Amino acid sequence: MREFRMCSVAGILGYGYPEASLNAALERGIDMIGCDGGSTDPGPFYLGSGKPFVSLRALKRDLRLMLKAAIQAKVPMVLGTAGGAGGEPHLQLVAQMVRDIAKEEGLHFNMALIHSEQDKAKIARRVREGRTRPLGRAPALDEDTVNKAERIVGMCGPEPWMRALDEGAQIVIGGRSSDPAPFAATAIRAQMPPAQGWYAGKMLECGAAPAAPKGPDCLYLTVREDGVICEPMGNRACTPLSVANHSLHENASPIRHVEPGGVLDTSECRFEQVSPKATLVTGMRWEPADTYTVKLEAAEKVGHRAITICGTRDPLLIGQLDGFLDIVRDLVRSKSADLDIAPDQYRLTIHTYGRDGVMGAREPVKGTNGAHELGFLVDVVAKDPDTAAAVIALSRTSMLHADFPGRLCREGNMAIPFSPSDLTAGEVYRFSMQHVVLPDDPYEMFPIEHERI
């Protein structure tokens, strides 16, 4: 039976993996090596700012080992959503890292870059043409949202990855991509059925997450025409349950996975343990979509953040917390006005840990529930850093010194752990798009650039 052997080194490049596991996969023999480079999970800052969410040191370590492995094994290497968010700065950061490692290690190869950052004018044109669609509960996309975005990326499907490899690249580094797409591309290109290729991608995009115990490790997959065998490296096992349950991970549905060109249906999957470490999955189906769609992600700049952290041990304050916080907000408003800062120029949020700091308005336990102490994270977001600094200083002194009925602790309401007490937290972004584009074809939004290294 024909087989295609795939290795994913880690859940996200820069999260780490054991070198011994990579070597074990190499000894077994591989036909490709890959890694997913990113996620939206760490939030909108990284897409907006163009920065990675792992350290450069960790990124380079993980990249060096897999690059050397790919060259040694003479197999394709794919790295999707490079640099965490897959925008142009992220892609260029990782591309330069590849060049640096190649120079340090004396490696030579053909590299392709797949660009995923989108030109705002082109997306605005698609809006005017009526070729964007909202997802979920989002309203229709408008040009104003497009223009206000700091950065827009499209989620690349497998087709540009296949083309980059067909055109002779061995190492392909891509911007934002559907997480399974780079893996699926290599399997489909090796004449494996799309269902098996996409299923393999769904497993590989998270490293050894489909195994038990979970942990940062390599996943080794054997794709066959009838199914996929999942096996982790290291001291773990893929069991029918651990593999089945990976379909729950970060998906809206465990049985329907929407991808750029169709839907992977896992509702009829069967799971069979074929060795102490490995599970065979069969029965996956691929339903091609009538219309090819590319999902957009965008980050819009909201302002600048400053925070302060404090706590109270005063039962009289805790007993009238809502009233106290209202007093603080009023004080901040009036003192800000004295500095010519209008209420619409800042947003003050006070997170109360010990009450509803984790779940906010969805917290079912109401009130302070007999807490003997409470922690506060005071968050100010304003249009510029100076305004944020001014308002957080007023917020801190108001938390510390605001008078309240029956107050005994007249030297200060709060324990403040740090000096300086106010911290600046930089630029703040928000995710601003939940839409798809209907492109002319799967390639037009994702230009491929080749270079010899």
Residues that bind another protein (CB under 8 A): 40-45, 136-138, 241, 244-245, 247-255, 269-271, 302, 347, 349, 351, 356-362, 364, 379, 381, 428-431, 434
Q: How far is the CB of 250 from another protein (least distance, A)?
A: 6
Q: Which is nearer to another protein, 56 or 358 (CB)?
A: 358
Q: How far is the CB of 4 from another protein (least distance, A)?
A: 24
Q: Which is nearer to another protein, 66 or 230 (CB)?
A: 230
Q: Which is nearer to another protein, 224 or 347 (CB)?
A: 347
Q: How far is the CB of 211 from another protein (least distance, A)?
A: 15
CA 323 to chain centre: 38
Q: Which is nearer to another protein, 30 or 382 (CB)?
A: 382
> Alpha carbon of 351 to those of 174, 323, 363, 414, 430: distances in Å?
38, 15, 13, 14, 19
Q: Which is nearer to another protein, 111 or 341 (CB)?
A: 341
Tokens of 316: 């009289």
Q: How far is the CB of 253 from another protein (least distance, A)?
A: 5
**Alpha carbon distance 110, 89 (integer Å):** 21
Dihedral sign computed on CA atoms, order 323, 371, 357, 245: negative
Q: Which is nearer to another protein, 45 or 404 (CB)?
A: 45
Q: 405-414 long-range CB contacts below 8 Å, 24 or more apart?
A: 405/320, 405/323, 406/316, 406/320, 407/316, 407/317, 408/314, 408/316, 409/314, 409/316, 409/317, 413/312, 413/314, 413/317, 413/324, 414/310, 414/311, 414/312, 414/376
Q: Which is nearer to another protein, 431 or 443 (CB)?
A: 431
Write down the residue that tokens 């827009």 correspond to: 152
Q: How far is the CB of 41 from another protein (least distance, A)?
A: 5
Q: How far is the CB of 137 from another protein (least distance, A)?
A: 7
Q: How far is the CB of 44 from another protein (least distance, A)?
A: 4
CB neighbours (10 Å) of residue 268? 10
Q: How far is the CB of 378 from another protein (least distance, A)?
A: 13
Q: Which is nearer to another protein, 252 or 408 (CB)?
A: 252
Q: Which is nearer to another protein, 47 or 200 (CB)?
A: 47
Q: How far is the CB of 438 from another protein (least distance, A)?
A: 20
Q: How far is the CB of 303 from another protein (least distance, A)?
A: 9
Q: Which is nearer to another protein, 223 or 388 (CB)?
A: 388
Q: Which is nearer to another protein, 18 or 207 (CB)?
A: 207
